[in-house]
Amino acid sequence: MKTIIKLQDVWKTYHMDEVDVTALAGINVEIRGGEFVAVVGPSGSGKSTSMNMIGCLDIPTKGKVFLEGKDISRMSESGLAQIRGRKIGFVFQTFNLINTLTALDNVMLPMTFQNMSRGKRLKIAKSLLTKVGLGERVDHLPGELSGGERQRVAIARALSNNPEVVLADEPTGNLDSKTGKEIMDVLCNLNKKEKKTIVMVTHDNSLTKYAQRVIRIKDGKNVGG
């Protein structure tokens, strides 16, 4: 399997008032195509910062980040945004849906920035919502959906530009255990049947059973995986 994302000796230091806070201290991570990887660590371990690096949401203070062999660690924000839009889909704990848009419009939104025709956006969004079991709920607003349904919309939205990687940040964190299992089943399905690369960031060790590989992070370094 080819390497899609690689973090090489990545450091990230934040300047807060008079204090420097080191969130990552020389972390090394490699994500290969078609994997389901869990990045696990307690609060404050650096896993959220590592997610920002893996997802091209931030650049390192030191070290390099490679996406499909290209060093993106010094790219501009606009350049990173273009890469994110094409290569990576995001699923967040808090869903991050726009409350004034229907499920259909939420899923269509990322495609708007890729200059896709409305007809094509509509077709893809309906297909994706059907795929995640919401074919009958396309016209509902987020406030009219359950937590599990909102997370399904978020997954459909993450898939809208057919990314190679889906990055899920605590995807079951706001859900009850039964609904959480349903969401994990959806992610597993995407990995096994559609060969999507899934990177899940979590503090919940019980979710590691769904992953093929576990990367454990502590004090800004990987200590396993």
pLDDT per position as a tens digit, 125-144: 999 999 999 999 999 999 99
In this structure, the number of other CB atoms found within 10 A of the CB of residue 219 comes to: 14
* Residue 88 confidence (pLDDT): 94
What's the pLDDT tens digit per position in 162-211?
A: 999 999 999 999 999 999 999 999 999 999 999 999 999 999 999 999 99
Q: The whole model's pTM is what?
A: 0.92
Query: Mean pLDDT over all residues of the chain?
Result: 93
Percent over 90 (pLDDT), the chain: 81
What's the pLDDT tens digit per position in 14-62?
A: 988 889 999 999 999 999 999 999 999 988 899 989 999 999 889 999 9
What's the pLDDT tens digit per position in 62-93?
A: 999 999 898 988 888 888 888 888 899 999 99
* Residue 65 confidence (pLDDT): 95
> Which of the listed CATH numbers 3.40.50.300, 3.90.230.10, 3.30.428.10, 3.40.1410.10 matches domain 34-59+76-224?
3.40.50.300
Residue 225 has pLDDT above 70, yes or no: no
